Every structure is written in structure tokens, then in C-alpha cells.
Structure 1
Amino acid sequence: MIGGIDKTLRLTEDKAAQMPPLTLAYIGDSVFDLYVRTKYVLGCSKNAGALHAMSVRLVNARAQAEFAHRWMEHFTPEEADVFRRGRNAKSPSPPKNMSIADYKYATAMEAVIGYLYLTGQDERIDEILGTLAFEV
């Protein structure tokens, strides 16, 4: 669902694994958000305000942390390593209006999605994000 990116913008798994986890989370946050927005735009005919309200229920630290807890045991060893590094990364600023634990787990989940995106593993992104509980 996310594909369509120029193949020259992809990284090997080794190169992506060497990237800082917060960098992986940075791109993963965008991919996560784009996936959810695309799913809603294609799945229902609501106005932009309603689509946004639906999207923010899934794209926030608390929801992403809960989602991460459900997926942790299903990660490949490489994904588990990226997740661990993302969870343990030191954030430059403390989270506002959320628990530190939720923030760390959300960041870790975003890092995994970023890793998968940069390595061209779109089917795996679909497999993981396809299990989100979308409302319509």
C-alpha cells in the first residue's frame, strides 16, 4: 500500500540497521500516518475533518504503544533489534501529555516501520499495519 518509491531510495537491511533509531522513527511516523490516512480515504467517504478525527485515534503515542505491545512477540529478530534500540533511544525532549513509557513504545514501533519502509519491505508493513483496528 505504501510502495511506489524510487528503488534507489531504498537501503540494504545492514545499512538501515545502522541508522540511528530516532531517524528510523522519524520516517516511520510518516509512513504510519500515511498508511492510516490512505486506509481511511479509500475505505469511507467522510469529510477531511472526520477523516482526521478517525486517524488521530490510531496515530498517537498511546494507541501506537498498545499496538506495539500486541506485535512485539511477532517481530523477526531484526525487527526486534530495531524495536529494542528505538525503545531505548534517548529523546532530545521529554514527551508532553503522554507517559514516557507510551512514548518509548510508540517510538520503537515507528522505528520498526521506518526500518521496513527504508528496506523496501512493503508487504511486511501491510501485514503489520493491516492489523490496526480501523473504524468506519
Structure 2
Amino acid sequence: MSEPDRNIDFKQLNGITLAYLGDGVYEVFIRRHLIDEGITKPNQLQRKATKYVSAKAQAGLIALMQEDQILSDEEDYFFKRGRNAKSYTHAKNTSVVTYRFSTGFEALFGFLSLSGQDDRLVELAKWCIKQVDSGRVVYEK
């Protein structure tokens, strides 16, 4: 992987662009977690990953972050930028509100990645995994 272009001002990127990156960043944490748990069959990996990365799960996680007041003002700002961004895609199998909250969740992870806040990124990813694994966030089809 090549070194990212640090001339890009991440604070000027729109919420959808941040969410695009954040989706991939969070997904890597989840894939690594599942493999570390010993799950190796592709069908099982995909099915289990949905509990963490579905729009419903991500919307539930961001709601818990707000409830537990674990986000800084800056993190909340980037969540809201993603949540409020104009999207040209539509929600699949979920409500528009859930989809927007999920987009905000992903934008938060994109912001943390682009701003080089790797320790915080790891901290929040581990927190999210713990919430799902403990049953605090429940994915429903």
C-alpha cells in the first residue's frame, strides 16, 4: 500500500467520502476480529460480520456511543457530517434514518483514519466489538 497523500485536507472532505473510507477501515477490524476468533469458512465469516457491519448494527453502535457519551465534540461533529450528507444511494433493507446513522458511523471511522488518530480508532473499534459480542447491540434481519 502506498503512503497516503497528506496534502489532502480531510476536514474539507464531504461526509460521504469519509464514510467510504470508514466503511473499509471498520470492516478490516471486524474481519481481523473474526479470524482471530478462529472463524475461517467464508460463509461463516460473512454471516458473522453482518452482526457488526450492517447498517442496523452501526446505527445501534453510534447510538450507544452517544448514550455512553464516549465521543469527543470533534468526533460527534464528523459523525453528524456523515449523517447529514446528501447521499445519492438509497437504503437497502433498512430505514433512511438507520442508513444515515450508519453513514455517520462510517464517516467517524474515516475521519479518525485520515487524521492519524490510530490509537483512538483501535479503541473505538474494540469498544464496538465488545458491545456487539456482549449483546448490547443486536443485529436483526
Superposition TM-score, scaled by structure 1 size: 0.85
**What stretches of structure 1 move > 3 A for 4+ residues in a row?**
none
Equivalence for 1:54: 48
Partner residue of 1:16 out of 10, 13, 23:
10
Q: Secondary structure at the match of 2:9?
A: helix
Superposition CA RMSD, Å: 2.0
Aligned positions of 1:1-136 closer than 5 A: 8-9=3-4, 11=6, 15-72=9-66, 73-131=69-127, 132=129, 133-134=132-133
Q: Give, in whole Å, the separation in 2 of the partners of 1:89 and 1:98.
A: 17
The Cα shift of 1:27 comes to 0.5
Q: Give, in whole Å, the separation in 1 of the partners of 2:53 and 2:79.
A: 18
**Number of residue pairs matched by the alignment:** 129
Give the partner amino acid of 1:93.
T
- Structure 1, unpaired ranges of 5+: none
Q: Give, in whole Å, the separation in 2 of the partners of 1:114 and 1:16.
A: 9
Give the partner amino acid of 2:65.
W
Give the partner amino acid of 1:43.
E
Native 8 Å contact 1:84 1:108 kept in 2 = yes
Q: Percent identity?
A: 31
Native 8 Å contact 1:11 1:119 kept in 2 = no
- Structure 2, unpaired ranges of 5+: 135-141
The Cα shift of 1:39 comes to 0.8
The Cα shift of 1:71 comes to 1.0
The Cα shift of 1:106 comes to 0.5
The Cα shift of 1:11 comes to 4.2
Structure 2 CA distance for partners of 1:82 and 1:47, relative to 1, 3 Å: same
